[in-house]
Amino acid sequence: MQYSQVDAEAKAVARKFDLVVIMSTFLVLIAGFHVHQMLVAGDWSFWIDWKDRNWWPIVAPVLEITFPAAVQAVLWTKFRMPIGATFCCLGLLFGEWMNRYINFWGWTHYPLNFVFPETFIPAAVVLDIVLMLTGNWIVTALVGGELWGWLFYPTNWVMVAPFHVPVEYQGSLMSIADVINYMYVRTSTPEYLRIVETGTMRSFAGGVTGVAAFFSAFCSVCMYVPWWLMGAHFFGSTKFFKNYESATAEVKNA
Amino acid sequence: MRKRVMRMMGRAGALALLGMILAGPTNRLWALGEKSQEAFLRMRTVIFYDTQFSGRKFKVGDEMTVTGKFQLLPIWPKEIAFTGISWLNFFVPGPQFLRVGSWINGRFMSCSQLLELGGTYEYKTITRARYPGHWPVGVMLSMKDAGPLIGPSIYVDVDGSHEGFTNPIKTLLGNTVNLEDYGESRMLMWTLVTTLIGIAWLGFWLGRPFTTRLGVVAAGRAKELISGADKTVAVIFALGTIGLIVVANVMTASQFPHTIPIQETIIRNEPLPPEPSRVEAKVLDATYDVPSRTLAFRLEVHNTGDRPLVLKEFTTANVRFLNEQVPGNAWNPDFPEVYGGAMKITPSEPVAPGETKVLEVVMASAEWENQRLTMYHETTNRFGGLLFFSDPTGARSIIAVADQLVIPKFGVTQM
């Protein structure tokens, strides 16, 4: 058998192995990240009337930078692949859409415009690129984490803006998001459970979005660090794989 | 071999069954869950009465009106927080009905309301059928820190088809939008555009060998894996993505120049003025006979009016007991409450004006057990509810009782 033929077959097998590894990882990430997201950011992601300008831009990015940081730690340090955050966020979006489409719309008939998920993908691509260009996870935490927080609200405002158009309903001033919440009965979530613009972060003539985004970016930086370290130390272990130097030393000592 | 085939067939069958269950139509719900709440919670917090549903059969698009009253009992159990922050909810399994509006004491309830302990409130809820099916529907008062307090419910049948159903609403900008799919295509398009950016970035990297890079990195040759061209592409991706977001936001601002934040607040709602009462009543003692499922209590009644009074009804936790010795005081199958049965009162003669006497009230009913209202299992074995007295003109006097201890009687036990 020719060497080139063996080489070609080895490459083909390696690609198939790649596919299995990538697909398995993708499914695991969908499961893990989606559960994490539902538990920690749940209502802020589910409902259009929770997507406010104060808490949503804080809660969602701060709690969702976790998995991207951890997966980046593995894929960058072990594979030099700057795709960790994008890989995670595509998985999350896929999982969320399955949930919204099958459960919320298919089973219980909530309209999709009430329950659509937010997207992190543009911020994730930027986070990956910052890591790639700087090659340094601390700089990525500082710069990428900031951009992650800042980009979240404008990325999603494009989809959310139509739902903030004002309506007079039964003599009350409401946004369209409020009216959807009111009309499409959500028995388990009474109105007083919504957390909308409470707190004292009010400044800049009443605009809270900028303050929220700033705070979100700061917290995202802080969250990135422990999750990177967790990813690197708990999931990035390659004890089974000897590095070049130790393998060479073993051969010499044999 | 045969066992293996059987096992595989069994698994395939189970999977098929699970699939059928999951894919099956969801137009029926068999239980509401109100019995899961503790008896003292349901008997001593909020009592709904005079509830009326405008019908039990509807077509998609039809409106249903629910009216009635509720009283927040003056002696609220100390185990349950009382904040007064309330939301009159409508329960239905998902938005099979749309809430057109809810009013408490005639005040539109767009947000939570602050209600008073001991207050009586009148409510109205209008809903519109949205999906066909056999649905349990009812009212409930959600109260902050206390949770959902469930009111009367019925099953309704909705015929027709959801196909073509619209929910138009006029905005303050003058245009009319259909809430069933408003903003949906825009949302889907933007989600698709941003997702394609992610897929393109992922495809750019996953088009290369993946797992073999592990070895290259471990060999200390990581720098070889990223070229200058890769960095150029990355910069284009980053700047392009940020630029796209900026442009999209500028366009959004011009398309929607007038937007408002999400609205929320809490408004105070005064209770109805107290109805004139012609009676004073207090429970002296109460027992619950476990084998015969009988609640009995002695009631000291003083008639302060100028007409004779009879005790016609006791209502608690959406169960009604009627004094059927009073002519015309019979059960009506249209009542949304549960029929508890007859309430026997001794002596049965009316309480004369100015008279004070002690009535023995006995209610033997399987519903004490069916509704999980037995009063010997809980940390707070007290009962509560509303007593309805009536004079010959039909004028009612409603008395709340909420703090009487109940002594259980277990019967003879064979040792």
Q: pLDDT tens, B246-259?
A: 999 999 999 999 99
Give the whole-angstrom CA distance, residue B317 versus residue B329: 20
Q: How far apart are CA B171 and CA B144, in angstroms?
A: 31
- Tell me the two tokens of residue A111: 């309209």
Tokens of B314: 């006791």
Whether B398 and B118 have beta carbons less than 8 Å apart is answered as no
**pLDDT tens digits, A173-201:** 999 999 999 999 998 889 999 888 877 66
> Is residue A204 predicted with pLDDT exceeding 70?
no
For residue B151, list chain A residues with Cβ-Cβ distance below 8 A: none
Query: Hey, are the CB atoms on A109 and B172 less than 8 Å from each other?
Result: no
Residue to test with chain A: of B213, B262, B267, most A Cβ within 10 A: B262
When pLDDT is cut at 50, 70 and 90, the band that residue A240 belongs to is low
Partner residue facing B194 (CB), from A77, A121, A166 = A121
Q: Answer yes or no: do B210 and A182 touch at CB < 8 A.
A: no
Tell me the pLDDT band of B4, cut-offs 50, 70 and 90. Answer: confident
Burial class (CB in 10 A: 0-12, 13-18, 19+), B207: exposed
- Is the model's pLDDT at B48 over the cut of 70? yes
Mean pLDDT of A138-157: 96
What's A47's DSSP letter? -
Task: Assess whether pLDDT exceeds 80 at residue B27.
Answer: no
Query: Does the beta-carbon distance from A110 to B95 stay under 8 Å?
Result: yes
Question: Of A227, A3, A39, nearest to A137 (Cα)?
Answer: A227
Average pLDDT of every residue of chain A: 90
Can you count the helices (H) and strands (E) in chain B? Answer: 6, 23
213-232 of A, contacting B, C-beta below 8 A = none
pLDDT in tens, A23-51: 999 999 999 999 999 999 989 999 999 99
Q: Pick B14 or B111 by higher pLDDT.
A: B111
| Residues of A with Cβ-Cβ distance to B205 under 8 angstroms | 81-83
B93·A168 Cβ contact <8 A: no
Cα–Cα separations (whole angstroms), residue B408 to A63, B291, B379: 52, 10, 13
CA of B251 vs chain A CAs: smallest distance (Å): 9
pLDDT tens track for B51-108: 999 999 999 999 999 999 999 998 888 888 999 999 999 989 889 999 999 999 999 9
Put simply, whether the predicted model's pTM sits higher than 0.90 gets the answer no
Model confidence at B7, in pLDDT bands (50, 70, 90)?
confident
Say which residue, A164 or A239, is predicted with more confidence.
Answer: A164
In A, residues 141-160, which contact B (CB 8 Å cutoff)? 151, 154-155, 157-159
Residue B137 or B403, more confident: B137
Name beta bridge partners: B72. Answer: B46
Distance from CA of B348 to the nearest CA of A (A): 43
Render pLDDT for B270-303 as a digit per residue (tens, 0 to 9): 999 988 889 999 999 999 999 999 999 999 999 9
Residue B386 has pLDDT above 70, yes or no: yes
Q: Do B245 and A154 touch (CB under 8 A)?
A: yes
User: Quick one: how far is CA B142 from the chain centroid?
Assistant: 7
Q: Does residue B120 or residue A4 have the better pLDDT? A: B120
- For residues B42 and B10, what is the distance between their CA atoms, to the nearest angstrom? 45
At residue B299, the pLDDT reads 94
- The answer for A194, left when phi > 0, alpha when psi is -120 to 50, beta otherwise, is beta
What is the rounded average pLDDT of the residues B148-167? 94
